[in-house]
Amino acid sequence: MVNKDFFAALADLESQKGIPQEVFIEALQNALISARKKQGGAGAIELKLSPEKGTIEFYSVRTVVEEVENRDTEISLEEAQEIKKSYKVGDKIVENFKPKDFSRIAAQTAKQVILQKLHETERDAAMNEFSDKEGELVVGTIRKIDARNVYVELGKGQVEGLMMPSDQVPGETYNVNDKIKVFVKRVKSGYKGAQVLVSRSSAGLVRKLFEEEVPEIKQGSVVIKEVSREAGARTKIAICSEDPRVDAVGACVGNKGSRVNAVVEELHGEKIDIIPWSENPLEFIAKALSPAKVISVTQLDGEKSAMAVVPDDKLSLAIGKDGQNARLAVRLTGWKIDVKSESAAAKLGYGVHDLEEANQETETGKEEE
């Protein structure tokens, strides 16, 4: 049979979806086997394709045997010799047939098998494309929104990213067809195809946005040590320089704040404190409580527990609304921090001269009363 359109379709599949022609031919063979079974036909299927001539020939193949175990692929010697007396055991009986003779049900079966194979191939190709994308930043297009979840089209459109409620940012608005940057949390293969769990609320998103904006981070001269985040409200990011010639904070802020502002814009105004990391945990705690100025920090009894003393009029700033600033500092440093005003510390019998001084220089945003 002549079918130049078939070969044109194969070429389109290979160029547009990256599916090799051999994969489609295999799917077609399997489909024809299923279709022949629907009709009650027997025999393995072979295809002879001639792209130059634009022709496809279909053959059913059965092997001559003494005792038939599989009627789909075998024929008894007696039956074979009824077709041709010279047939003997081991011979192959090849019969030409035309798929257009198939019934409507058989043709539908063939179509379903082919579509299933193509879907599986596309899924596998998509999984291969995203198998190394975990922990990365990708750009997608929002395709669907339901009562809880946001679905994002990723890559070449064969992978669906799922953003669950816990990965959405309070206050952010998501609209169908919007382009969106997301953090890939996990890639897995499910019965419905490749599934990629993506997030806008993850601390990893902020880390990757800074890597994208700050060349010194990509080059390794500036290192992100820790990130703590309450999505939509505030993030604290601790950084340090591996090169004494490089100012880590300055690199992340950028000229006139261009780099940090680009990240803030992507996060729709989320506040970001850039904290210089310190090997001295007490010094690090003092910096982590930015934008509040800390008078002193001392280690208390117990592992990783400290008291931070701040001026009386900065206590609310140090603690933050609903305890947010102190909570983020705890996550950033890994220490339990008890924030006290200077007068409260004095009432407890602590004087500033009794406390271990911590470095008071902080490199953060403006104070917010």
- The string of pLDDT tens digits covering residues 212-234 is 999 999 999 999 999 999 999 99
Closest CA to 283 of 316, 308, 312: 308
- Is the confidence at residue 349, as pLDDT, over 60? yes
Q: Which tops the pLDDT comparison, 40 or 174?
A: 174
Domain final residue pick, 277, 299, 327 = 277
| Residues 141, 177 contacting (CB under 8 angstroms) | yes
In the chain, the number of structural domains is 4
* CATH number for 151: 2.40.50.140
- Kindly state the DSSP code that residue 206 receives in the 8-state scheme: H
Share of the chain above pLDDT 70, in %: 79
CA angle 345/351/357 to nearest 5° reads 100
* Range name among 36-40, 196-200, 220-224 with the lowest pLDDT average: 36-40
Domain final residue pick, 61, 90, 122 = 122
> Is position 262 within any domain?
yes
Give pLDDT tens digits for 48-60.
767 677 776 778 8
Give pLDDT tens digits for 290-328.
999 999 998 988 789 999 999 999 999 999 999 999 999
Q: Alpha helix (H) ranges present in the chain? A: 4-17, 21-39, 77-83, 104-130, 203-213, 215-219, 248-253, 258-266, 281-288, 315-319, 324-333, 342-347
**295 shares a domain with 332:** yes
The parent domain of residue 266 ranges over 203-277
User: How many whole angstroms separate alpha carbon 332 and alpha carbon 320?
Assistant: 15
Task: Identify the band that residue 347 occupies on the pLDDT scale cut at 50, 70 and 90.
Answer: confident
Highest mean pLDDT among 129-138, 146-155, 198-207: 198-207
pLDDT given for residue 121 in this prediction: 74
User: How many whole angstroms separate alpha carbon 292 and alpha carbon 306?
Assistant: 16
* CATH number for 242: 3.30.300.20
**273 shares a domain with 167:** no
